């Protein structure tokens, strides 16, 4: 994901998790939460990968937007379901991104 440099700094919410067991309901909720996050003020982008552990990173313009997202009612319901059904553990990290760079092959 590339961010317009005029947006620096911005924030990354890193969500690392381990599922108890994969389920269709979990995948549906994950898609719904990404779609909902994209509608929130301050949302910049999203990246995700899952194998033995899951790693989801959402990008936000400011800390207030992250707080509002954390307390968004549908997101709260998903968090509760995650704790009661889907995750054996998770960790959330909130980081300030001051710069970025990337490489892209021309092949």
Provide the token pair at 57.
């990173």
CATH class label, 8-97? alpha beta
Instruction: Report residue 35 CA to chain centroid gap.
Output: 11
Q: Where are the domains of the chain?
A: 8-97
Given a cut of 50, the residues of the chain with pLDDT beneath it are 5
Q: In this predicted structure, what is the pLDDT of residue 47?
A: 93
Q: In this predicted structure, what is the pLDDT of residue 105?
A: 95
- The answer to whether residues 60 and 42 touch, using CB atoms and an 8 Å cutoff, is yes
pTM of the model: 0.86
């Amino acid at each position: 994901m590339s961010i317009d440099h005029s947006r620096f700094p911005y924030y990354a919410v890193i969500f690392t998790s381990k599922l108890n067991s994969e389920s269709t309901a979990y995948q549906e909720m994950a898609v719904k939460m990404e779609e909902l996050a994209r509608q929130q003020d301050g949302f910049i982008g999203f990246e995700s990968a899952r194998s033995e552990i899951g790693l989801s990173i959402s990008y936000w313009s400011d800390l207030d937007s992250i707080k509002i997202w954390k307390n968004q009612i549908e997101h709260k319901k998903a968090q509760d379901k995650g704790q009661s059904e889907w995750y054996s553990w998770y960790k959330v990290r909130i980081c300030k991104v001051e710069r970025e760079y990337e490489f892209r092959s021309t092949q």
